[in-house]
Structure 1
């Protein structure tokens, strides 16, 4: 009588075929090792060879008959019902029956391979499978596989001692990561950094000190940690280098010729980080105008003279003055065209354009 649908029978130790006991130990270097067994050929292949906490692992028994009808996996060497993880029936109608030791993370596949996802330290132990060998036969083999406890590294973080640094100053960055990280690399704007006289690493590479800071040292810093099973990179941490103002100028450059009644905008441009504050003066007198641009409409000769721009960086406490000269000219007569008349100070007590008698 055939097997009823949905039912299962644990494979027998005797019958038409003899069983082969295959065992693998998923061990952790973080825990006490399982006592060593007599060295024999390893009957189970474990992939990857160094499973990691939080990762996945596959245990594949070797020398299994291609036409096997079922197999059991146990989390022990006793093979009792309480230690049974699952029973697997292969294609063409694959079925998996979970046992008392199933955690919800184990599945079986072709060749009676056992797959465990999301490894935890509780998965450490001996794993045993019973499956037929080709052409029958008798005998058991077992071997303990020592698998190191290697952590899937969490994402590290970078802690700068300051995020706004003065040019020619010093700053440090700390890579905060799991102790199980074997390697620590540093990157700026995505490119790896090489230690130098200015870029100094601590013995464990977890602290980066930048000496004699230059403008090119500004950017986003990251650390990348690694171990045999994983790598992870921190989120970018931005460091800004404060400098300037330098290379200050006024656009348009002088000398400037003003036309009465024609608006003019002067723009103060300074190479500075952070952006400086600006104030404007005319002939040494504060115009009470701020901002990088000054717009005015010259209506009298009072608008000519020397325009000054002060650029001040509150972080570097540096102030730079730049100036430009502006002269006023009178507009030409509309009809007929004649040369532009000269300007003079009139008797009405203010500067204006007027035509001198011919």
Structure 2
């Protein structure tokens, strides 16, 4: 209890003992409480002397970040909250170790405990941390991933493609590998369609070795993002010619006199499939 030799600061954070006798030597600790928790400071040992002043510093628990979701849709909004002791007087947000500054898309609550990001873009992905002071504690971290494309059905807009690109003209018996290329997070599911018929192939690549006339036609790769629920596709036409034939787009199995049937790769535009085909000179 306070007395002539023992004094407390107005906020009880600092204990001062005057004229310290041997009986005042020992280990001193302070205890702080709030409705949620109770903490004690590290021990401080003092011996006898003229005066003793022991500041009481709250030992803050390590903060946490909620919610603990790690997937956010592009163009969506996400909110993170830094949970720490009510007595924390400073809160700082970082992404990948760099301090975040409020902007049109990035907002902070008045106490800096809540971070809101509008219209999420690829650059918003990373590891988010909140750091609290009074005194500083190790930061809480939350890795954040934004699912990427496909975002549209149109191959030109969704970033989905097939490698090698069209036109593909092969000699009968030569090998062929088609690879569906898509920049997306998380991993996509794949379907391959040949001339409108599902091939039951579900990998990102198709390989034929050797190729036959049955392998020619229009191949379509359809990709699906399980998180966004979106689907996109791309297509390419493959022509297989016999030995000695000119590897053009004419279909030797469909001729009318000196005319041959020409078919170009299909494309998807506005949800409608476009495909160029018609009769023309062979060769």
TM over 0.5: yes
Q: 1:244-281, CA deviations, whole angstroms, 9 ceiling, x for partnerless residues?
A: 21211100111111222222110001122222211001
Any conservation in 2 of the 1:161–1:172 contact (CA below 8 Å)? no
1:165 corresponds to which of 72, 77, 89? 72
The CA RMSD measured in Å over matched residues stands at 3.4
1:244 corresponds in structure 2 to: 149
Cα distance in 2, alignment partners of residues 341 and 174 from structure 1: 62
Deviations 1:192-248 (A, max 9, x none): 100122211112111111122122111110011112xx3223242111112321211
Secondary structure at the aligned position of 2:236 is classed as: strand
User: SS of the counterpart of 2:48?
Assistant: strand
Structure 2 CA distance for partners of 1:153 and 1:301, relative to 1, 3 Å: same
- Structure 2: how far apart are the matches of 1:33 and 1:322? 71
Gaps of 5+ in 2: 29-40, 151-157, 254-283
Separation of aligned partners in 2, 1:150 and 1:328: 79
Equivalent in 227, 231, 234 of residue 315 of structure 1: 227
Give the deviation of 1:282 after TM superposition. Answer: 0.8
Please tell me whether the aligned partners of residues 218 and 235 of structure 2 are also in contact (alpha carbons under 8 angstroms).
yes
Q: Is the 8 A contact 1:26 1:127 kept in 2?
A: no
Match of 2:119 in 1: 212
> What SS does structure 1 have at the residue aligned with 2:123?
helix
In structure 2, the residue corresponding to 1:261 is in which secondary structure?
coil
| Alignment equivalent of 1:293, drawn from 205, 208, 211 | 205
- Could you tell me how far apart the structure 1 residues matched to 2:14 and 2:100 are? 40
Alignment of 1:87-236 (within 5 A): 101=26, 119-120=42-43, 128-129=48-49, 142=50, 145=53, 147-160=54-67, 162-227=69-134, 230-236=135-141
Q: Distance in 1 between matches of 2:13 and 2:220?
A: 78
Structure 1 gap ranges (5+): 1-23, 38-75, 86-100, 104-117, 130-141, 333-338, 346-358
What is the aligned partner in structure 2 of residue 89 from structure 1? none
Residue 47 of structure 1 corresponds to: none
C-alpha deviation, 1:144, in angstroms? 6.4
- Structure with larger Rg: 1
Distance 2:103 2:224 in 1: 34
Report deviation, 1:180.
Answer: 3.4
- Residue 148 of structure 1, CA deviation: 3.7
CA contact (8 A) 2:24 2:47 kept: no
- The Cα of 1:27 is off from its aligned counterpart by 5.9
Aligned to 2:276: none
- 2:127 partner SS: strand
